[in-house]
């Protein structure tokens, strides 16, 4: 079977399994197996029997809705690549916008102190230290397996990574932080059926579910950010697209400059607020 036919067969299998981007995923898996760039697969990839079997096994796994990134072992996020696998939330493209906001908030400051709560794989923290090298970045993760992945990704970067609950994290930094950023769990428990199998069946539960309305973690985050930030400091947190009004409502009252931000598809995606100076 030619490489072109192999890709077409894999694409059809993934499409029938409900994978959202079957052709792209098939190409990425084949590129992973062969080491040939996607653009050159049809003309340059020559698979031996071992590679064909490996590719078939990966396509079968993807058809079972195992996340693509778990199969390749990596995920791109802004300008960095992260190691990911079972036990850690796979960073999403939407979260790159939140990371970009945190980078813009920290960049102009001389020695900004940034805290990444619920760091997961360390995606936001790694992006910040990569793009704002003069920042002092701190990150925390509760889940033990996810913490292990964050250690791999943040080792040698200078990020102060700690394992624990964000609720009582970094008490030594109280009142000294410039930017707090977080991608907390925000899916309501009742929304189980609507969540994609890649997330529902493979991402850690701690990274997904957050009470009846999906905002339990956001409420904790609001208290923690208030404790950590210096006057004039800012907080940004991702939320579900259905929480464009309720998530900002968590910050109503004592915060100023409360704004909700849209993702590239025009959906509500993250909220930012400022602690009064």
The answer to whether residues 210 and 191 touch, using CB atoms and an 8 Å cutoff, is: no
Higher pLDDT, 201 or 30: 30
Q: What is the pTM of this model?
A: 0.85
Q: Given phi > 0 = left and psi -120 to 50 = alpha, else beta, which region is 248? A: alpha
What separation in angstroms does the CA of 52 have from each of 29, 81, 220, 233?
Answer: 11, 26, 49, 54
Question: What domains can be seen in the chain, in order of their start residue?
Answer: 3-64 (1.10.8), 74-274 (3.40.50.150)
Q: Is the pLDDT of residue 210 over 80?
A: no
Cα 58 to Cα 55: distance, rounded to the nearest angstrom? 5
Cα 206 to its chain centre, rounded Å, is 13
**pLDDT on residue 1:** 77
Q: Is the pLDDT of residue 30 over 80?
A: yes
Could you tell me the pLDDT band of residue 261, with boundaries at 50, 70 and 90? very high
The answer to whether residues 239 and 218 touch, using CB atoms and an 8 Å cutoff, is: yes
Burial zone of 218 (CB within 10 Å; 0-12 exposed, 13-18 middle, 19+ buried)? buried
**pLDDT on residue 172:** 98
Q: Is the pLDDT of residue 202 over 90?
A: no
Q: Is the pLDDT of residue 206 over 80?
A: no
The binding site for substrate comprises 183-186
The binding site for S-adenosyl-L-methionine comprises 141, 183
Condensed to tens digits (0 to 9), the pLDDT of residues 143-176 reads 999 999 999 999 999 999 999 999 999 999 999 9
The binding site comprises 141, 183-186
Cα 159 to Cα 122: distance, rounded to the nearest angstrom? 10
Could you tell me the pLDDT band of residue 186, with boundaries at 50, 70 and 90? confident
Q: Is the pLDDT of residue 204 over 90?
A: no
Q: 3-class DSSP state for residue 145?
A: helix
Say which residues have a Cβ less than 8 Å from residue 64's Cβ, sequence separation at least 6. Answer: 17
Q: 3-class DSSP state for residue 20?
A: coil
Q: Is the pLDDT of residue 226 over 80?
A: yes
**pLDDT on residue 213:** 79
The answer to whether residues 234 and 116 touch, using CB atoms and an 8 Å cutoff, is: no
Condensed to tens digits (0 to 9), the pLDDT of residues 16-29 reads 999 989 999 999 99
**pLDDT on residue 72:** 92
**pLDDT on residue 258:** 98
Cα 241 to Cα 17: distance, rounded to the nearest angstrom? 25
Backbone angles phi, psi at 206, to 5 degrees: -60, -25
Give the percent of the chain with pLDDT over 70. Answer: 91
pLDDT, mean of residues 196-222: 70
Cα 216 to Cα 189: distance, rounded to the nearest angstrom? 11
Q: Is the pLDDT of residue 208 over 60?
A: no
Condensed to tens digits (0 to 9), the pLDDT of residues 228-248 reads 999 999 999 999 888 999 999
pLDDT, mean of residues 119-138: 97
């Amino acid at each position: 079977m030619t490489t072109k036919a192999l890709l077409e067969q894999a694409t059809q299998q993934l499409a029938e399994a409900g994978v959202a981007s079957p052709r792209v995923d098939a190409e990425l898996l084949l590129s992973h197996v062969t080491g040939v760039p996607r653009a050159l697969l049809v003309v340059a990839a020559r698979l031996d029997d071992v590679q064909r079997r490996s590719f078939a096994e990966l396509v079968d796994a993807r058809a079972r809705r195992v996340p693509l990134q778990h199969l390749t072992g990596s995920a791109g996020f802004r300008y960095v690549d992260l190691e990911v696998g079972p036990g850690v939330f796979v960073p999403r493209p939407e979260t790159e916008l939140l990371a970009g906001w945190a980078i813009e908030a920290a960049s102009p400051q001389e020695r900004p102190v940034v805290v990444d709560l619920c760091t997961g794989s360390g995606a936001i923290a790694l992006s910040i230290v990569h793009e704002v090298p003069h920042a002092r970045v701190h990150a925390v993760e509760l889940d033990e397996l996810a913490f292990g992945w964050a250690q791999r990704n943040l080792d040698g970067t200078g990020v102060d990574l700690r394992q624990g609950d964000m609720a009582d994290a970094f008490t030594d930094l109280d009142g000294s932080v410039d930017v707090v950023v977080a991608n907390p769990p925000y899916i309501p428990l009742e929304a189980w059926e609507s969540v994609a199998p890649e997330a529902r069946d493979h991402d850690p539960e701690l990274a997904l579910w957050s009470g009846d309305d999906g905002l339990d973690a956001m409420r904790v985050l609001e208290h923690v950010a208030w404790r950590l930030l210096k006057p004039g400091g800012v907080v940004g947190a991702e939320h579900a697209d259905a929480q464009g009004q309720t998530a900002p409502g968590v910050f109503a009252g004592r915060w100023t400059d409360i704004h909700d931000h849209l993702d590239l598809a025009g959906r509500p995606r993250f909220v930012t607020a400022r602690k009064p100076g």
